[in-house]
Structure formats: structure tokens, C-alpha cells
Amino acid sequence: MRYLKPSSVSEAADVLESSRGMILAGGTDAYVYMAEGFCHPETLIDISSIDTLRGIYVATDDREEEVIRIGACTTIAEIAASQDLPTCLRQGARAVGSPQIRNLGTIGGNVCNASPCGDTLAPLLCLDARFVLRASGGTRVIACEDFFTGPKKTVLKPNEFLEFIELPASSCGKASAFRMIGNRKGQAISQANASVSLVMVDGRMSDLRVAVGSVAPVPLRLGKLEEFLTGKRVKEVSLAMFKEPILEGIRPIDDVRSSASYRQEVTVALVFDALAECASKDSGECEGAGA
């Protein structure tokens, strides 16, 4: 096995192009896959120490819009602790693995691993995140909702890797929250998770996004529920009213971690709780990058 540690993004892209090796960031998932024999890479390309891939800052995206940019190799712990990011993403990051895993694992790794239960996926989806993918020929940008194609499957081509995640600058002005449930309270893998972001206008829910994870092959937006809730006051809605639009949207499976029926039931509760937390705040709570 070859282990390469390129010092820049362009070098990484070139090495990837020529070697078709495996990109390694924090390595917490990659190592387990190798140990379990799921993959046998001939070349590992460790991008975790490329400076430009780390950090959270304000930038201008390809559409000339202001965005919060997150380097793909920013650790999950850094995301969890950042004051510059929306609550749901920080809460999602806090739910990933253990402190030890979060200190090594990266947001890019969590995204590109594309596990349906990845805890940062639903938050990114409900924040309208966009992903900047890098290849030796240049970059392309893809919306979070188009990125995931199945369990552990994404649109990433063998010569591409994730360089940045970008969030609309407005996401910091929104209220957001994340909830998950797992088979234990500490160091748990999500049986289901939910992320909500919204803006309260005159006590009514607006600009609402609801995303759920671990209940379908990819993280899902719950459009029906968003439609149903938009314009309503939180007091007008009850958990029972949620059920139908949620159950229509999700496609959970039975597996070793949970039954499909429990995933269904609990998703309703998680969405409701996340919504309740959002509604309890009147507006955005993060400072905004660089502030």
C-alpha cells in the first residue's frame, strides 16, 4: 500500500487522477472499511493536513453570493464547537460517534461516506448546503440534495473529492435544531435523525426546511410537511398532525439497529422536538463567520 500526503489541493487532485487511490481524511470510517475488508486501496491519499481544507470562514461562491465555507477536512469536533455555524449542524456534529471520533473525523468524511445514518447529512440538507467537488481539471458545485444517490453512494467520480461545503450566509439568521435517537445514549449510531430550520415571521413558520436521516437510502427533505407547516403557528400544530406527511415521505427499513416501524414512529417525535426547539428561539443564533 502506498500512503501519500499531498501538500496542496491541486497536488491531491493530480495524485488522485493518476493513481485512482482512496482519499483519506480523518480515517475513522476508512480504516474500519479497510479492516473489515470492504475495500483494498492500493494508494491512500491523505488530504487531512492540507491547510486550505480546514476552517470555517465567509467567502463568495461561484454565483457571487456570500456563503459560509467549511473546509472538507474541518474536524467534526471543530464543527461542533464553532460559534459560526447554525445550531442544527453543530448539534448533528455533536451526535457523531464519540469525542475521540469527532477529534479525528471530518465533515467531509461524514458527507462522502454517505452513510444514511450520518448525523451531519440531514442538517446540511436542511441548510441548503452546496458541495464544491474538486478534480484535476477544476471544480464543480453540486447541491446537497443532488449529492447522495444511495447508501454509501454519491455523485463523486473516482477522480473527484470534496473540497468545501458552502452554506448560504442567511442560514445563520435562521433558527435550527437537530435531534437523533440511537440504540444507546452515548456513542450511538442514529436509528433516525431529524433536522429543522426556519424563520419565524410574526409568530408563523416560514422558510421552513425539514430533513431526516437514517429513514431512507439517502437523507430526505420532507416537502409535504414543510408545505403543511409553512405559515402556521407552532401552537396550532400537534404531533398527531405530523404523522401523515412524515410517513408519506420516508422509506425506512428493518435492520440490525432498528425496525422500520420504530424508525417511523420515532421520526415523528424527533421532527416535532426539533421544530419545537426552533420555535422557542425567535431568530438565528450564530454569530456568523468572522464576526
Partner 1 sequence: MIRFKCNGKAVQLEAEPEARVIDVLRDGLGLTGTKEGCGRGECGACTILLDGKPVNSCLLLAGKIADREITTIEGIASEDGALHPIQEAFLDKGAVQCGFCTPGMVLSTKALLDENETPELEEIEEALSGNLCRCTGYGKIVEAVREAGQRLMHESDQQGDA
Partner 2 sequence: MNVIGKRIRKVDGFELVTGRAKFAGDYKFPGMVYGAVKRAGVPAGRITSIDVAAARNTPGVIDVLTAKDIPGPNLIGVLPPYDQPLLAENEIRYAGESVVLIIAETAEIARSAASSVSVSIEPYDPILSVEDALAPDARKIHESGNITLSKKLIKGEVKSAFEKADVIVEGVYETSFQDHAYLEPETVCAVPGRRITLYASCQSPFHIRGHVAANLNMPASSVQVVQAVTGGSFGGKDDVAAEIGSLACIAAQRLNRPVMIAHERKESIIGSNLRHAARIDCKTGALNDGTIIAREITVMLDGGAYASESPFVTMKTLIHAAGPYNIENVEVESTAVFTNKTYCGAFRGFGVPQVTFASESQIDELADKLGMDRLEIRRINGLKAGDANATGQVYQQSVGLQETIEVIAAQPALPDRIDVARYLHGTGYACVAQGISNGAEGIDVTGASVQMSQDGSVLVGIGLTELGQGSRTVWAQIVAEVLGVDIENISVRLVDTDSVHDSGPTVASRSTTVGGMAVQKAANEVKKSLVSMAALMMQTDEENIELRDGYAILKMDDAARIPISSVATAAYWTGFPLMNLAFSKAPEANFDDDTHQGDIYIAYNYGTHRMDVQVDTTTGEVKVLNHFAAHDVGRVINPLGLEGQVEGASLIGFGMAHMERIKYADGIIQNANFADYALPSIKDRIPTKSIAVEDHNPTGPFGAKGAGEPPVAAAAAVFANAISDAVGFRFTRLPITREDILDAIQQRGNHG
Q: Restricting to residues 142-181, name those near partner 2 by CB under 8 A.
A: 181
- Name which position in 7, 52, 183, 283 contacts partner 2 (CB under 8 A): 183
- Name which position in 64, 138, 240, 291 contacts partner 2 (CB under 8 A): 240
Residue 43 CB, shortest distance to partner 1, in Å, is: 10
Residue 101 contacts partner 2 per CB under 8 A: no
Nearer to partner 2, 37 or 138 (CB): 37
Crossing angle of helices 260-279 and 239-249, in 10° steps, is 130
How far, in Å, CA of 114 to CA of 106, rounded? 13
Contact 138, 250 (CB under 8 A): no
- Residue 145 C-alpha cell reads as 440534495
Determine the distance from the C-alpha atom of residue 153 to the mean position of all C-alpha atoms in its chain, rounded to a whole number: 14
Q: In the chain, what is the greatest distance between 2 CA atoms, to the nearest angstrom?
A: 60
Sheet holding 220-221, edge to edge: 175-182, 190-201, 204-213, 220-221
- Name which position in 266, 275, 278, 279 contacts partner 2 (CB under 8 A): 266
How far, in Å, CA of 188 to CA of 202, rounded? 38
100 binds, among partner 1, partner 2, none (CB under 5 to 8 A by kind): partner 1
Residue 138 contacts partner 2 per CB under 8 A: no
Give the angle subtended at the CA of 91 by the CAs of 57 and 203, to the nearest 5°. Answer: 90
Nearer to partner 2, 218 or 268 (CB): 268
Contact 51, 80 (CB under 8 A): no
Contact 127, 197 (CB under 8 A): yes
Residue 58 CB, shortest distance to partner 1, in Å, is: 26
Residue 188 contacts partner 2 per CB under 8 A: yes
- Name which position in 39, 138, 186, 202 contacts partner 2 (CB under 8 A): 186
Which of these segments, 53-61, 105-113, 124-132, 183-191, binds partner 2 (CB under 8 A)? 183-191
How far, in Å, CA of 285 to CA of 221, rounded? 23
> Which residues contact partner 1 (rule: CB under 8 A)?
1, 3, 5, 24, 27-28, 31-32, 35, 44, 46, 48-49, 77, 97-101, 103-104, 186-187
Nearer to partner 2, 90 or 263 (CB): 263
Binding footprint of partner 2 on the chain (CB under 8 A): 37, 181, 183-189, 238-240, 256-259, 261-262, 265-266, 268-270, 272-273
